[in-house]
């Protein structure tokens, strides 16, 4: 196991060189649609979500329309993605609560966001960052794995613990970009299995328990 620690600033700069274009890959036009896309993306690729949201948002563009949807109709549209029954139920419940308690507007606040059905801290962070441009770091499977391999957090940390460690190590103005950089690095280079280590700038610091 490597003992050297990479400086967070070095990590940020190298990630930026690798993926200067890192961005949110979900398609959406409003913060409401972003929230729905994020909910649908759990354990599913963004590409799969984008395949269904065109039709979904055409039929149900906002909370008002979705609050009146029949679950079976939503299921029919999103059935190609994983956990579609639960996701359809959650999207409708979330939209109803949004209508009843927040005038149909996605709230700009962590506690209020996580009071909505189907929205946990990770999803709320994506919504705050992408939808409202607040500094936030959402810890998904890629961010969690990459953080551990780069020695920024431990593999045994919870997503919340990893988030707090990243928040302490990086300046607030870089949080949202860092989130995208780590996702792109995890998605396109530092894969869960068979990562592309040969030309990785972090090889000498890497904690992955395997020979490089």
Annotated catalytic sites, by residue?
A: 122, 140
Q: How far is CA 202 from CA 15, 77, 171, in A?
A: 10, 42, 20
Among 107, 118, 131, 195, which residue sits at the site for ligand SF4 (rule: CB under 6 A)? Answer: 195
The only residue of 23, 59, 79, 212 in contact with ligand SF4, by rule CB under 6 A: 212
Please report the DSSP string for 70-99 in residue order: -HHHHHHHHTTSTTHHHHHHHHHHHHHHHH
Counting contacts by CB under 6 A, is residue 208 touching ligand SF4?
Answer: yes
Question: Is there binding between residue 183 and ligand SF4 (CB under 6 A)?
Answer: no
CA distances from 43 to 18, 25, 59, 65, 87 (A): 25, 15, 24, 26, 11
Provide the minimum distance between the beta carbon of 204 and ligand SF4 in the complex, in angstroms, as a whole number. 9
Phi-psi map region of 151: left, alpha, beta (phi>0 left; psi -120 to 50 alpha): left
Closest approach, Cβ 11 to ligand SF4, in A, equals 10
Beta carbon of residue 189, minimum distance to ligand SF4 (angstroms, whole number) = 6
Query: Which one of 100, 203, 209, 211 is in contact with ligand SF4 (CB under 6 A)?
Result: 203
Is 190 among the residues that bind ligand SF4 (CB under 6 A)? yes
Stretch that binds ligand SF4, among 51-59, 75-83, 110-118, 187-195 (CB under 6 A): 187-195
Q: 169 or 189: whose CB is closer to ligand SF4?
A: 189
Spatial separation of the C-alpha atoms in residues 53 and 209, rounded to whole Å:
39
Query: If binding is defined by CB under 6 A, does position 197 make contact with ligand SF4?
Result: yes
Contact 61, 104 (CB under 8 A): no
The reply on whether position 97 binds ligand SF4 by CB under 6 A is no
Least separation, in Å, of the C-beta of 136 and ligand SF4?
23
The Cα–Cα gap between 174 and 183 comes to 14
Q: Which helix (H) or strand (E) holds 197?
A: none
Which one of 144, 149, 177, 180 is in contact with ligand SF4 (CB under 6 A)? Answer: 149
CB of 145 closer than 8 Å to CB of 192: yes
Q: Coil, helix or strand for 183?
A: helix
**CA-closest candidate to residue 127, choices 29, 46, 32, 25:** 32
Comparing CB distances to ligand SF4, the nearer of 87 and 187 is: 187
Residues lying near ligand SF4 in the complex (CB under 6 A) are found at 149-150, 189-190, 195-197, 200, 202-203, 206, 208, 212
């Amino acid at each position: 196991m490597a003992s050297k620690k990479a400086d967070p600033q070095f990590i940020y700069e190298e990630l930026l060189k690798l993926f200067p274009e890192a961005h949110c890959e979900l398609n959406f036009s409003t913060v409401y649609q972003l929230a729905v896309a994020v909910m649908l993306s759990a354990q599913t690729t963004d590409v799969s979500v984008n395949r269904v949201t065109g039709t979904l948002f055409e039929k149900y563009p906002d909370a008002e329309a979705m609050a009146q949807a029949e679950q079976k109709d939503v299921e029919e549209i999103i059935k190609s993605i994983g956990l579609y029954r639960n996701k359809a139920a959650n999207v409708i419940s979330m939209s109803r609560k949004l209508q009843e308690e927040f005038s149909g507007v996605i709230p700009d606040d962590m506690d209020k966001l996580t009071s909505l059905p189907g929205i946990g801290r990770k999803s709320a962070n994506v919504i705050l960052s992408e939808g409202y441009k607040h500094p936030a770091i959402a810890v998904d499977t890629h961010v969690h794995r990459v953080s551990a391999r780069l020695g920024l957090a431990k593999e045994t940390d919870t997503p919340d613990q990893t988030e707090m460690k990243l928040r302490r190590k990086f300046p607030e103005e870089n949080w949202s970009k860092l989130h995208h950089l780590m996702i792109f690095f995890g998605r396109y280079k530092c894969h869960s299995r068979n990562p592309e280590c040969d030309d990785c700038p972090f090889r000498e610091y890497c904690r992955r328990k395997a020979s490089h």
